[in-house]
């Protein structure tokens, strides 16, 4: 099922059935069985690479490594990338990869060999420039360095370590964009200053940690955080500066709470920054947040989304809120192509101008059409992709 609702979108945009037929299916879907010999055993993992649309440019999207990866999930995430790039006017299409394995159960050497296998199977697309991968859940600069080590092409992958062609500011790019959106939405929607607003975040990985750090620096109170190992809570605000080097929250010597409570507690802003589908109908019914900013991909089920809309809870959708990562990736790709060196300040500036430009359009469209921010974002993004399909004579 598509991540966008074409029945609703066509009430607000003139989109021909041929365009919908294109967008309802992925452009390409590839499967590989990654097999690695480890001691006396063979470790196997299903791997998918899905390119949803290349109408606006090469398919762009991260590689996720998790036990619950599936073709269906990879498909949805690839589709989200198409619309994220279109909404923020980044000249990429949408893609995604998934490797189905629990990374905590394998040795680091196996992890590296699986990535090498991934490149062996899908490297042709990276070499052609059809698909440009990046980090996603449980992959990061180390895995991107392995990929670059094989392709030997800096523009074939983004999210690399800075010393080998990575971008200054890419590590925090997604969190930087989320923080920029939160500050603007707190001002414009909640009519408050970010100083002193209370925030709960699910996920303390790349996105969750950077979002927490940057909003804490801006004066917000991060009162609750959760990850796959547990959750911590302090009414007066968590000591984020002291938590930067904590890998998993069960290592933190801080007051613990039930991770489920983080999803529904009374806060100004709730930020899901971990897994898909956490804001179910039940969570949407119980949430006491005034604003939800989707830092993770696809965190809200369609039932949950309807309930949030009916309850008048403002949601800033994933394709807008977490676009800082792909904007940073675009800057890194441009740096690789041109051979120039781009500073952190320039990266931040590009993220801010693209993400806040898109934010203004979404707010304005939602107001003019009397629709949710998510639907407004989808209307703008689908329109943009369809226009490029018209430009190319596909429809
Ligand atoms: P990560 O692997 O660095 O961190 C994931 C975090 O989620 C970890 O803290 C992990 O413990 C936590 N987590 C996993 N299962 C959980 C559970 N059941 N309950 C609570 N916490 C759980 O991944 P990331 O890169 O930070 O990505 C997080 C989300 O942001 C994903 O949806 C990803 O697709 C999205 N995203 C990431 C980027 C990026 O640049 N990394 C860009 C855009 C969107």
State which of 94, 123, 155 marks the end of a domain: 155
Q: Whose CA is nearest to atom 35 of ligand 1?
A: 296
Is position 261 within any domain?
yes
What pLDDT is stored for residue 25 in this prediction? 97
Residue 110 and residue 150 share a domain: yes
Q: Which residues fall within 8 angstroms of residue 6, CB to CB, at 6 or more apart?
A: 15, 20, 23, 24, 382
Residues 55 and 13 in one domain: yes
Based on the domain organization, do 20 and 101 belong to the same domain? Answer: yes
Ligand 1 pocket residue status of 203, Cβ below 6 Å: yes
Q: What is the pLDDT of residues 175-188, one digit of tens each?
A: 999 999 999 999 99
What is the number of the ligand 1 atom nearest to the C-alpha of 298? 32
Separation of CA 222 and ligand 1 centre (Å)? 17
Please give the span between the terminal C-alpha atoms of the chain, in angstroms, as a whole number.
22
Together in a domain, 143 and 189: no
372 CB under 6 A from ligand 1?
Answer: no
Residues 150 and 177 reside in one and the same domain: no
Q: What is the pTM of this model?
A: 0.97
Q: Is the residue at 43 inside a domain?
A: yes
Name the closest-CA residue to atom 15, ligand 1: 228
Task: Give domain status of residue 327, yes or no.
Answer: no
φ, ψ for residue 371, nearest 5 deg: -125, 170
Residues 6+ apart with CB under 8 A from 316: 181, 185, 291, 292, 293, 294, 359, 373
Same domain, 194 and 116: no
Question: Per the structure, how many domains does the chain have?
Answer: 2
Same domain, yes or no, for 301 and 189?
yes
Closest CA to 154 of 172, 132, 121: 132
Using the atom order of ligand 1, give the atom closest to the CA of residue 276: 32
Instruction: Please check whether residues 184 and 142 belong to one and the same domain.
Output: no
Q: What number is the average pLDDT over the span 103-107?
A: 96
Q: Which two tokens stand for residue 288?
A: 């006491």
Q: Which of 60, 84, 96, 221 is catalytic?
A: 96
Asked whether the beta carbons of 389 and 55 are under 8 A apart, the reply is yes
Rounded to an integer, the average pLDDT of 227-253 is 96
Asked if residue 53 is part of any domain, the answer here is yes
Q: Which two tokens stand for residue 130?
A: 């059809």
Q: Which of 76, 95, 135, 205 to mutate to test the pocket of ligand 1 (most atoms within 8 A of CB)?
A: 205
Q: Give the model confidence (pLDDT) of 242-259 as tens digits.
A: 999 999 999 999 999 999
Q: Which tens digit of pLDDT belongs to each residue from 153-182?
A: 999 999 999 999 999 999 999 999 999 999
Of 296, 321, 346, the position where a domain reaches its end is 321
- Please tell me the predicted confidence (pLDDT) of residue 204: 98
Residues 14 and 149 occupy one common structural domain = yes
Q: Compute the distance between CA of residue 62 and CA of residue 134 in angstroms, rounded to an integer.
A: 4
Among residues 123, 155, 187, the one where a domain terminates is 155
Q: Is 306 exposed, middle or buried (0-12, 13-18, 19+ CB in 10 A)?
A: middle
Helix (H, G, I), strand (E, B) or coil at 188: helix
**Residue nearest (by alpha carbon) to ligand 1 atom 23:** 137
Is 96 a residue of the active site? yes
Q: Given this model, what pLDDT does residue 215 score?
A: 98
Q: Does any domain span residue 161?
A: no
Question: Looking at the structure, do residues 141 and 203 belong to the same domain, yes or no?
Answer: no
Phi and psi at residue 65, to the nearest 5°: -120, 110
CB 227 less than 6 A from any atom of ligand 1: yes
In a domain, 393, yes or no: no
Q: Of 257, 265, 305, 248, nearest to 281 (Cα)?
A: 305
Distance 325 CA to ligand 1 centre (A): 13
- Alpha-carbon distance 331 to 210, whole Å? 19
- How far is Cα 61 from Cα 64, in angstroms, rounded to an integer? 9
Query: pLDDT of 283-330, one tens digit each?
Result: 999 999 999 999 999 999 999 999 999 999 999 999 999 999 999 999
Residue 246 forms part of a structural domain:
yes
Tell me: do 132 and 187 sit in the same domain. Answer: no
> Is the domain of 194 the same as that of 82?
no
* Closest to 207 measured CA to CA, from 318, 308, 107: 318
As a whole number, the mean pLDDT across the chain is 97
CATH code, domain carrying 305: 3.40.50.720
Return the H-helix or E-strand segment holding 198. strand 198-202
In a domain, 349, yes or no: no
Query: Could you tell me the pLDDT band of residue 262, with boundaries at 50, 70 and 90?
Result: very high
Average pLDDT over every residue of 218-229: 98
Residue 140 belongs to domain with CATH number: 3.40.50.10860
Asked if residue 1 has pLDDT above 90, the reply is no
Cβ-contact 373, 316 below 8 angstroms:
yes
Domain region containing 131? 6-155
C-alpha distances (whole Å) from 322 to each of 12, 32, 275, 362 are 24, 28, 13, 14
* Mean pLDDT (whole number) for 54-77: 98
């Amino acid at each position: 099922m598509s991540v966008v609702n074409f029945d609703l979108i066509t009430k607000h945009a003139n989109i021909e059935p041929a365009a919908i037929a294109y967008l309802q299916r992925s452009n390409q879907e590839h499967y590989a069985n990654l097999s690695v010999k480890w001691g006396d055993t063979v470790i196997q993992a299903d791997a998918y690479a899905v390119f949803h649309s290349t109408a606006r440019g090469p398919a762009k999207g991260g590689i996720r490594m998790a036990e619950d990866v599936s073709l269906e999930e990879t498909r949805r995430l690839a589709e989200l990338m198409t619309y994220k790039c279109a909404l923020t006017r980044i000249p990429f299409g949408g893609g995604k990869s998934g490797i189905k394995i629990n990374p905590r159960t394998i040795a680091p050497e196996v992890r590296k060999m699986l990535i090498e296998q991934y490149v062996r199977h899908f490297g042709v697309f990276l070499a052609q420039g059809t698909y440009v991968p990046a980090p996603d859940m449980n992959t990061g600069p180390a895995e991107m360095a392995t990929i670059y080590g094989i392709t030997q092409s800096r523009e074939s992958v983004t999210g690399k370590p800075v010393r080998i062609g990575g971008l200054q500011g890419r590590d925090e790019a997604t969190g930087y964009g989320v923080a920029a959106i939160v500050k603007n939405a707190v001002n414009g929607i909640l009519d408050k200053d970010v100083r002193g607003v209370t925030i709960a975040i699910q996920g303390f990985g790349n996105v969750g940690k950077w979002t927490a750090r940057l909003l804490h620096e801006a004066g917000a109170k991060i009162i609750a955080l959760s990850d796959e190992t547990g959750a911590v809570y302090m009414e007066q605000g968590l000591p984020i500066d002291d938590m930067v080097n904590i890998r998993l929250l069960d290592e933190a010597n801080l007051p613990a709470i039930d991770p489920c409570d983080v999803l529904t507690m009374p806060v100004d802003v709730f930020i899901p920054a971990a897994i898909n589908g956490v804001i179910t109908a039940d969570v949407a019914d119980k949430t006491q947040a005034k604003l939800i900013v989707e830092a993770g991909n696809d965190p809200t089920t369609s039932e949950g989304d309807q309930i949030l809309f009916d309850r008048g809870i403002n949601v800033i959708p994933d394709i807008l809120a977490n676009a800082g990562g792909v904007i940073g990736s675009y800057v890194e790709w441009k740096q690789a192509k041109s051979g120039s060196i781009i500073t952190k300040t320039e990266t931040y500036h590009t993220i801010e101008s693209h993400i806040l430009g898109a934010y203004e359009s979404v707010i304005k469209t939602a107001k003019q059409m009397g629709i949710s921010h998510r639907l407004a974002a989808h209307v703008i993004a689908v329109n943009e992709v369809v226009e490029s399909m018209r430009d190319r004579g596909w429809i």
